[in-house]
Chains A and B, each alone.
Chain A
Amino acid sequence: MTHDPLATLSLLPSWPLHLDNAFWFALLLVVAPLAGEFVFRYLRWPRIVGYTLIGLFASVIDFDTSGLQIPALLQRALEVALAVLLFELGNRINPRWLLANPWLIATSLAEAGLTFVAVTAMAHTLGLGLGSSMAVATVCMVSSPAVIMRVAAEMNARGQVTERLLLLSALNTIYAVVALQVLLVALGVVDAGDPWNAALNPLATLALSFILALLLASAVGFAQRRIDVSDENGALLLLGLLFLALALVQTLGASPLLVPLLAGILLRSRDPRPRLWPRHFGTAGGALVVLLFVVNGMATDWRLIVGGGLVALVLLVIRAATKIASTVLLGRRSGLSVRQSAALGIALLPMSGIAVLLTTSLHQAFPEFGTRVASALIGAITVMEIVGPLATQWALKFCREANLTRGGRHA
C-alpha cells in the first residue's frame, strides 16, 4: 500500500477545492437576479442591465469561458428563450396596420435602409471590403427585439411609441435575416463557382422558415382552441411546441429567428381573437429570459470595447444618427408628435443577442470578415448591451408611456 493513509481517513475534501462548472454556473444564476434587483431598485435601471453586467463581469474576470461550456440542452433552452420573446413580439404585430398607415412602412424602410447605407459607406471608407461593410451594416440594422420587449414589459409601457417600437424592431429583424441570406448569395456566387446552388440555398432557407412558421402557428392555434393557454399547463405546452419547432429548425437548417417571429405574426393575422397567455409563457419562460441576458453578456468581451476603439464609436454614432433622423423626419406624417418621434428613434437603439448571433455566423461565413471588424462590431454591441436598455427606458419615460407603478410589481 503506497498511498497516503491519511487521505482515506480524512473526511475533509482535498484542498484546493475543485469546483466544477456546474458550481460556477449556479453561482451566476444566484448573482444575476440580485444584480438585476440592485440596478432596478437603486439606480432605477432596467433589470436586464444587471443581468448583462453580471455576464460581462464573468467574462472580465476571465472566468474560464471555455470551461464554462454551456451544456447542449441549456443552449437549446436559451434559444427557446429568444424564440419565446420573438414569438410574443410577432403576436403583437398587426401587418394590416402597415396598409392603413403607409408612413409606417416608410419609417421602417428609412430607419433600417439609411442605417444600412450609412454604415456600409462608413465601413468601406475606413478600408473594409464592400462585402464585409455590408455585413457590418446588416448587423447594425437590428434593434434588439429581446431588449425592447423586456424593457417595455418591465415598464408596462403602453401607447403609440411602444406599439411602433415593437413593430419597427420586428421588421428590422426580418430585414436583417433576409439581407444576410441575400448577402450570402451575393458573396457565395463569387466564391462557390456554382451559382445555381449558391442562389438556391439561402432561398430554400427562407422558404423553409416560412413553412415551419406556418406549422408552428397552426399547432399553437390548434392547441389554444382546445385548452386554456392562460394557465401553467397550457403555457408549458406552448413552450414545448417552441422547443419542438426549434429542434426542427436545427435539423432542417431554417432560421431560428425568423420561424418564431413569423409564427407569431401569422397566428395573430389569421385569428383576430385576442389571446393572452402569461408573459414569456409563465415562470419557466421568464427564468429562461433572465438567463438569456446573462449569457448575452458573457458572449461579448469588455476588452473589445477598447480594442474596437474609434471604429466602434463611429459605428454607433452613425447608427444612432440614422435611426433617430429617420423617425424624426417621418414621424409627423405617420401621426406622431416631434417628441414621440425622437423618443421612438432613441428607443430603437438597443443591439444585443441577435447582433452577436449574426456577427458570429458572418465571422464563420467569411474569412475576409477579419478579426478586426468582428472585434469592432462586438465592441459596439457590448457598449449597446448596457446603453441600449437605458436608452429605451429613458425614451419611453420621455414620451410618457411608462407606467412604473405597475411595472415594479409585475415585471
Chain B
Amino acid sequence: MLEPFAASRCLTLGVELELQLVSTYDYDLVPVAHDLLRVLDQQGFKGDVKLEITDSMIEVATGICKDYAEAAEQLAALREGLLRAARRLDIGICGGGVHPFQHWSERRISEGPRYKQLNDLYGYLAKQFTVFGQHVHIGCPGPDEALLLLHGLSRYIPHLIALSASSPYVQGADTGFDSARLNSIFAFPLAGRAPFTLTWAEFQDYFAKMARTGVVNSMKDFYWDIRPKPEFGTIEVRVMDTPLTVTRAAQLAALIQTLARWLMIEKPFRPAEDDYLVYTFNRFQACRFGLDGVWVDPASGEQLSLGDEVARLITRIGHHAVELGSDAAIAELAANARARRNDARWLREHHANDPLLAELVRQQCLVWADA
C-alpha cells in the first residue's frame, strides 16, 4: 500500500544514523542492541533509538529540525546519552559505513517478523547488510515538489557519497573503494535510482504496477538512493556512509538542506531522464575514488574532478546557506573537498600507522566519542 503524502514543513530536516556496537576487548561487533536499549530506558534517556537488522547495530534519529544548529545539537545530545549507556555496558560505539573486519556469517539477525522475512528472502545478503548509513529527510510542501526535488538532487549523489565515504575496509582487507558499503546495497534487486516520474499521480501508477507483480508491498521494499517517504511528507537521501563523527553527519545534513533550498527556489535546471545516463558512472567513481574521482556533468558532458566540483557547488549555493545558517558548516565541507580529505582517508592514514584493524576500530570509537 502506498500511503498518501503527508504534509510537512518545507525544508525541515531529520537525520538518522546507523551505528556500530563493538566489544572493548577485541573491537569486533557484539550483539548488545537490546541491552543498550534497556539501559537507555533505565537511565531515562529521551531520544529515538531503534533496533536494526542485526543486533550489533542501532539506529538513532533526530526529531524534525529547522536548521543545522538544531540538528547538530540533537545529534550531540544523542551521542552523550548513548555514551553514558555504553559505559555501563563496557561497549564501544562508532561510526563508519562498514565494520572493517567483522565476518558476515557470525552476525545474528534481530528478532521480529520483518527481519525474519528479510532473512528468509535475501539469505546471506541480509547478513551482509550489516552496513551503516546516514539517512537525511527533507520536508517537502507536496508530493510533486518532493519528486522534483528527488530528481534534482540525484545529480549531487556522487558529491554526498565522496564527502561521507567511510568504508574502505571490508572483512579485513582494503577494498580500494572509499565507500565499499554501497556495493553491498547495490546487490539488492530493488536498489538504485527511483523511476523518472515527476508527478505523484505517475508515481502512484508505477507503484501500483509494481505492487501488482507482488514484488513490493510498501515503500520500505525499495532500497533507492533517494526515495519519497510519504508518511513523513519528505524525501530521504540514503547514500551516505555513517560518518566517523556526528559533527560531520550534521554538516552533510546541512549541505543537503542547502541544496534543496537552492533547487526549490532557484530551479537552476529542469531534471530530465537523460541526467541518469551518467548516473551510475558518476556514482561508481565516487564510491571507488572518493573526492579524487571524476564527475561528468550530465548537462554539458564535461569531465571534472569531483573534489573541485564539490567545492565549486558549495560556493555556488553559498547565499542559501547564509539564509539557513549553515554557511560555516558547509564551508568546512568545501575545505575538506579541496584538500581531498574524507573519513576513508582518515581511516587509511590511521591504518598505515598501526596495521591492527582492531586498533583502528578503537580509534573510531575514540573519535566518535570526541566530536
Which residues from chain A sit less than 8 Å from chain B, CB to CB? Answer: 92, 94, 96-97, 100-101, 156, 158-160, 163, 272-274, 276, 335-337, 340, 400-401, 403, 405-406
Q: Which of B30, B89, B103, B362 is in CB contact (< 8 Å) with A158?
A: B30
Seed contacts A273-B354, A273-B359; 9 additional CB < 8 Å A-B pairs = A100-B90, A101-B90, A156-B106, A160-B32, A274-B26, A335-B35, A335-B39, A337-B38, A403-B106
Query: Chain B, 142-178, contact with A by CB distance < 8 Å: what is the 0/1 string?
Result: 0000000000000000000000000000000000000
Q: Which residues of A contact B90 (CB under 8 A)?
A: 94, 96-97, 100-101, 163
Residues in A neighbouring B31, C-beta threshold 8 A: 158-159, 400-401
B213 contacts chain A at the CB level, 8 A cutoff: no
The answer for the CA separation of A159 and B26 in the assembled complex, in Å, is: 12
Roughly how many angstroms separate A39 CA and B359 CA in the complex, as a whole number? 38
CB–CB B30/A272 < 8 A: no
Measured CA separation A400–B30 after assembly (Å): 12
CB pair B356–A159 under 8 Å, yes or no, is: no
Chain B residues lying within 8 Å of A335, measured Cβ to Cβ, are 35, 38-39, 42, 88-89
Kindly state the separation between the CA atoms of A274 and B60 in the bound complex, as whole angstroms.
27
In the complex, whether B251 has a CB less than 8 A from a CB of chain A is no
In the complex formed, the residue of B with least CB distance to A92 is B25
Number of A-B contacts (CB under 8 A): 64
Residues of A within 8 A of B26 (CB): 274, 276
* Interface of chain B residues 329 through 371 with chain A (CB within 8 A): 354, 356, 358-359, 362
Residues from chain A with Cβ under 8 Å of B27 in the complex? 274
Interface residues on B, range: 20 to 34
Q: Is B358 a contact partner of A274 (Cβ separation < 8 A)?
A: yes
Could you list which residues of chain B lie within 8 angstroms of chain A, going by C-beta atoms? 23-28, 30-32, 34-35, 38-39, 42, 87-90, 103, 105-106, 108, 354, 356, 358-359, 362
Which B-chain residue is minimally distant from A403 (CB atoms)?
A: B106
The 7 closest A-B pairs by CB, nearest first: A274-B358, A97-B90, A100-B87, A335-B39, A101-B88, A160-B35, A92-B25
User: Which residues of chain B are near A406, meaning CB under 8 Å?
Assistant: 103, 105-106
A94 touches B24 (CB 8 A): yes
A159 to B, closest residue via Cβ:
B31
Q: In the assembled complex, how far is the CB of residue B86 from the closest CB belonging to chain A, in whole angstroms?
A: 9
Residues of chain B within 8 A of A163, CB atoms compared: 23, 25, 90
Question: How close is A180's CB to chain B, nearest CB, in angstroms?
Answer: 29
| B35 engages A336 (CB within 8 Å) | yes
Contact partners of A405 in chain B: CB under 8 A:
105-106
Distance of B369 from chain A, by nearest CB (Å): 13
Residues of B within 8 A of A400 (CB): 31, 108
Could you tell me the distance between the alpha carbons of A44 and B224 in the complex, rounded to whole angstroms? Answer: 45
Bound together, the chains give a CA A279 to CA B362 distance in angstroms of: 21
A97 and B34 alpha carbons, distance in the complex (Å): 19
| A158 vs B108: C-alpha distance when bound (angstroms) | 11
Report which residue of B39, B89, B103, B105 has the largest number of chain A beta carbons within 10 angstroms of its beta carbon. B89
Within the complex, the shortest CB–CB distance from B152 to chain A, in Å, comes to 45
A selection of 5 A-B contacts at a CB cut-off of 8 Å is: A158-B31, A160-B89, A272-B362, A274-B27, A276-B356
Contacts of A92 in B (CB 8 A): 25
Q: Are A274 and B32 in contact (CB-based, < 8 A)?
A: no
Asked if residues A159 and B87 are in contact (CB atoms below 8 Å), the reply is: no
Distance (whole angstroms) from the CB of A219 to the closest CB of chain B: 21
Closest chain A residue to B30, Cβ basis: A158
Q: How far is the CA of A89 from the CA of B108 in the complex (A)?
A: 25
A159-B42 contact in complex given A97-B90, A100-B88, A336-B35, C-beta closer than 8 Å: no
A160 to B25, CA, bound (A): 12
| Distance of B70 from chain A, by nearest CB (Å) | 30
Residues from chain B with Cβ under 8 Å of A97 in the complex: 90
Distance A100 CA – B25 CA, assembled complex (angstroms) = 16
Residues of A within 8 A of B359 (CB): 273-274
